[in-house]
């Protein structure tokens, strides 16, 4: 086990270095930079472009330097000082912008993961044990619906129904009177009252997918000889099910850690825009559109790094849960 963990950790180090390089290169691929985007926007609005100001901004942010020089400044700042650079558009440190929205994103992501596990596990087990029953057909129907309907479309429909029939807006995480208020018990309760909406909308597709995966995996395990052997030894169906096939079929649930960590940053950006959620997703989308390279590059690198870390954690947990994996 320790040898397996050490080998996986050693593989992570060069992967992270490559990720940082690729992340920065991707941001540099579109023609121009933030100042070109800013100049084009000012020209469309009929504003006069101050060439001296543009030159000063170019010098300040080092946009005239070669790409490798810009990358080296960026990555050394991150490693040595935790400095992700300055956002061109916002005029604030990138780390400050990210952390301002990080905690709301973390709350939504963890709540969504718990919702997915709590719903998908029992329904997936039931569908496999009672295959081709009425309950299995109903779970399959809702699973296909959840996979087929985009999250943002479900959010739009829910917002329309809520406003039309109940006269209530479901956007955001707080009521208007709590948006700028200090934290209190009332604000916390208000957050819980709004939190279930994005959790259900964002978690629907993941729940539907895991139900189908759990059902397929468990059906495969139930047909194996060791299940019949355990049953012949007198184990009750409930104990047999939990002790052997369900444990093996849990692998996809553990592997979801590989995507839940990057989801903390991306946080279903389109759905967050539709629901006006104060998460990192809309900020990532805006930074890409504005070619705010330090902000966008930091987001892309964080998503990639969290994917690697999440995959590492899920691999270690899978190796503990299923010893066959480490071999």
Contact yes or no for 37/296 (Cβ under 8 A): no
* Whole-prediction pTM: 0.74
Cα 20 from Cα 294, distance rounded (Å): 12
Cα 242 from Cα 219, distance rounded (Å): 14
What pLDDT, on the 0 to 100 scale, is given for residue 41? Answer: 65
Q: Tens digits of per-residue pLDDT, 49-91? A: 667 767 776 766 667 778 788 788 778 878 888 777 777 777 7
Cα 307 from Cα 311, distance rounded (Å): 6
Q: Tens digits of per-residue pLDDT, 173-197? A: 777 777 777 878 888 888 887 788 8
Contact yes or no for 296/145 (Cβ under 8 A): no
What pLDDT, on the 0 to 100 scale, is given for residue 258? Answer: 67
Q: Tens digits of per-residue pLDDT, 109-167? A: 888 888 888 888 888 888 888 888 888 888 888 878 877 888 778 888 877 787 777 66
Take residue 195 and report the two structure tokens written for it: 């939190």
Q: What share of the chain in percent tops pLDDT 70?
A: 83
Residue found by looking up tokens 């109940």 in the block: 166
Domain residue ranges in the chain: 94-326
Query: Of 166, 192, 156, 188, which Cα lies nearest the Cα of 275?
Result: 156
Domain 94-326 has CATH 1.10.275.10: no
Calculate mean pLDDT across residues 216-244. 78
């Amino acid at each position: 086990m320790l040898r397996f963990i050490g080998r996986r950790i050693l593989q992570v180090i060069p992967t992270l270095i490559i990720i940082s390089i690729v992340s920065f290169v991707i941001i540099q691929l579109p023609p121009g930079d933030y100042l070109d985007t800013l100049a084009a926007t000012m020209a469309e609005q009929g504003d006069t472009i101050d060439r001296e100001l543009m030159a000063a901004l170019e010098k300040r942010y080092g946009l005239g330097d070669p790409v490798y020089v810009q990358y080296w400044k960026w990555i050394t700042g991150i490693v040595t000082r935790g400095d992700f650079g300055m956002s061109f558009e916002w005029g604030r440190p990138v780390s400050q912008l990210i952390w301002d929205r990080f905690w709301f994103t973390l709350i939504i992501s963890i709540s969504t993961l718990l919702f997915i596990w709590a719903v998908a596990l029992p329904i997936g087990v039931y569908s496999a044990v009672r295959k081709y029953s009425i309950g299995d057909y109903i779970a399959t129907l809702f699973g296909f619906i959840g996979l087929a309907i985009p999250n943002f479309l479900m959010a739009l429909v829910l917002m329309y129904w809520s406003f039309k029939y109940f006269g209530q807006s479901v956007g955001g995480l707080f009521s208007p009177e709590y948006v700028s208020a200090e934290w209190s018990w009332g604000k916390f309760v208000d957050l819980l009252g709004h939190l279930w909406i994005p959790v259900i909308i964002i978690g629907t597709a993941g729940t539907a997918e895991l139900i189908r995966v759990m059902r397929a995996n468990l059906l495969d395990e139930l047909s194996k000889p060791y299940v019949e052997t355990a049953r012949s030894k007198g184990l009750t169906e409930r104990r047999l099910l939990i002790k052997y096939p369900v444990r093996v079929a849990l692998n996809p649930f553990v592997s979801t850690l590989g995507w839940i960590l990057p989801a903390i940053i991306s946080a279903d950006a389109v759905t967050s825009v539709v629901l006006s959620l104060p998460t990192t997703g809309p900020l990532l989308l805006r930074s890409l559109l504005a070619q705010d390279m330090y902000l966008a590059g930091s987001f892309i690198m964080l998503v990639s790094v969290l994917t690697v870390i999440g995959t590492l954690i899920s691999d270690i947990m899978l190796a503990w849960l299923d010893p066959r994996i480490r071999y």
